[in-house]
Structure 1
Amino acid sequence: MMLSYATIGSDDLEKSVPFFSALLETQGATKVFDHPRGGAMFGKDGKLLLGVLTPFDRATASAGNGAMLAFDMPSREAVDAFHAKAIELGGTCEGAPAERGPGFYMAYFRDLDGNKFCACRFG
């Protein structure tokens, strides 16, 4: 079984949706549709990838402690560029691109709402 897609909550969709539009565009993903609850769903190659949404319960969005989403990149250079773009767009660095183990090249950042992400290349 594989992960189908993930969603994160945001309290400032006017900033978060453009952040992810610009960031995910670097890997060929685009906004698929505006979500009826607020926010947007992004995808690539006809598949959903990430939703940036108003939380279902309409309560304040929060970053999960220990939660992280990882994006598989096609190369180490793509990891570097994706991480740099996230920081350029206002994200914060949680770990610069580096080899974290044999064949595990990763970079970490937080988005504008504090959600943690990883750009990674295995092999």
Structure 2
Amino acid sequence: MAHTGYFTVGTNDLDKALAFYDELLGSAGWQKMFDNPRGGRVYSNGASLFGVMRPFDGNDATIGNGTMCGFSFESPEKAAAFHAKALELGGANEGDPSDRGNGATFGYCRDLDGNKLCVYHFTMAG
């Protein structure tokens, strides 16, 4: 079975983006794995990677229309706490975490560059 291994977002203000993600991802147990020599950082939670960097082609970073990164949590409360932390750090709310039916909780926000993030939790029916 294949799993998503990593996701990256681009930024035009690396210092602000790294401060945002250091605190946001740190609140969920992610740690800095390494700094990219070209500018940026890669984080890990032990299973997946998340990167924040300047675009490789040297052009300005732009948000992807329809692009979104999802962060899975062990409970709806942890998903809501991550969402709240993103807003506390200056992110924009795109939809509060709520029950979307069938045991699924989803919430949405954007980082400081406008990249869309999703927080979610599935309660598996037994």
Measured against the shorter chain, the TM-score band is: over 0.9
What is the TM-score when the length of structure 2 is the normalising length? Answer: 0.93
* Percent identical residues: 47
Provide the rounded CA distance (Å) in 2 between the counterparts of 1:121 and 1:49: 19
Structure 2 spans left out of the alignment, 5+ residues? none
Provide the rounded CA distance (Å) in 2 between the counterparts of 1:93 and 1:78: 17
Match of 2:20 in 1: 19
Q: 1:1-123 counterparts in 2 under 5 A?
A: 1-45=2-46, 47-123=47-123
Equivalent residues of 2:4, 2:48 under 8 A apart:
no
What is the TM-score when the length of structure 1 is the normalising length? Answer: 0.96
Provide the rounded CA distance (Å) in 1 between the counterparts of 2:39 and 2:16: 13
Task: Give deviations 1:13-61, integer Å, cap 9, x for gaps.
Answer: 100011011001111101111111101000122x442000000101010
Equivalent residues of 1:41, 1:48 under 8 A apart:
no
Number of equivalent positions = 122
Provide the rounded CA distance (Å) in 1 between the counterparts of 2:72 and 2:104: 11
User: Secondary structure, in 3 states, of the residue corresponding to 2:15?
Assistant: helix
Provide the rounded CA distance (Å) in 1 between the counterparts of 2:5 and 2:48: 7
**RMSD value, Cα:** 0.9
| AA partner of residue 13 (structure 1) | L
| AA partner of residue 57 (structure 1) | D
